[in-house]
Amino acid sequence: MSIPNTSYSVLFSAGESSGDQHAAHMFQALQQQCPAIRGLGMGGSKMRQAGIEICVDSSGIGVIGLVEVLKHYAEIQRALKQMKQIVTTEKPDLLVCVDYKEFNLKLAQFAKKQGIKVLFYVSPQVWAWRPGRVVTYGKAIDMMAVIFPFETAFYDAQKVPVRYVGHPSVDKVQPLRSKSEDFELFGLNPTQPVVGVLPGSRVNEIKRMLPVMLLAVKKLAERHPDLQFLLPQADSVNDEDLQQHLLNCSVPIKVVKRQAYDAIQCCDAVMTTSGTASLEIALLQVPMVIAYRLSPLTYWLGKQLVKIPFIGLPNIIVGRSIVKELIQNAVTADSLSAEIDLLLTDSVYRASCLKGLQQVKAGLGEGGGSKNMASLALEMLQTH
């Protein structure tokens, strides 16, 4: 579908690093199909680079957890007010809400009342949290674009328009170079094992996860002096946020910027926070341990609401535990280092993990998520 002479305006709302990436890739695919299209809205550096006019910078509001949201409540409310104002003044042809569920639900409800079409990209994980929310979202949107095949059933059951578009990470997770080229570029010894450290893409995740990960690094280095360590720095994380922790670490850790997939492919094992990163590591077929800590109150509330046994996307997709999950108090330097040690030294355990990761990759299908999203958006734009 190509409609080069038609000019549309699409308002994007992305509040987090992963949403910023998804929106950027979708807009690039949209531009290929409709060069005259205009994109504006809330997001970060990736969206800006893709040519979307950033009216609201989302870098300060990408937080997770009740306590964290309360701390940033004023900023989040200010951003929501600005986005509502843009809906009113710009009257876009389509609002694309990317993840960031509670914020975007409010924005979608507002836009719908203004007669704006709403496309929600990346379904809220209603299957994990509150299945009853499907109805609430159904009333606020015109179409739900889901990225996991099993999600369509939840919306079909409530007669909410839904389309499976494929997971954007399938296409996106491609290293720029070969593994041997990366070893040379990053100054790594190809005969010695490499461990990846992924503390997250949000500032509060770095504060909570990096110190304990660095203690695990120290234990691993004591046990295996030949180990090399890599830390792919998320675009949403400032140098200062990392360096204040790394300065106190006696073990050398190579920080890699803007080349996460190349860094990950060099690794023999990775310790990572829960989230999109765990899925990207799975697609790159690298064994991992998933760790996550929230504030005690947020964790307690989550325990009351979550209806599924896993937090890690690889485990959720396959429906069984293929990757070790460490949550809250279980996240210690001992538990993290012990799991990485196991993945590096126990060949049977490692092979079992890799077999599970192959199933994750197969379960996500062929890809084409961004292109499918662009086609869906154009379909909606052309339907009056």
pLDDT digits (tens, 9 = 90+) for 8-56: 999 999 998 889 989 999 999 999 999 999 999 999 999 999 999 999 9
CATH 3.40.50.2000 segments of the chain: 9-166+368-382, 179-363
Measured CA distances, 108 to 54, 94, 112, 136, 371 (Å): 19, 11, 6, 11, 23
pTM for the predicted model, two decimal places: 0.77
Who's near 243: CB < 8 A, 6+ residues apart? none
More confident position, 209 or 70: 209
pLDDT digits (tens, 9 = 90+) for 272-291: 998 889 999 999 999 999 99
**What's 179-363's CATH class?**
alpha beta
Top mean-pLDDT range of 7-11, 240-244, 318-322, 340-344? 340-344
Q: In which band, very low, low, confident or very high, does the pLDDT at 1 lie, cut at 50, 70 and 90?
A: very low
CATH of domain 9-166+368-382: 3.40.50.2000
Nearest to 23 by CA among 294, 366, 374: 374
The radius of gyration of the chain from alpha carbons, rounded to an integer in Å, stands at 21
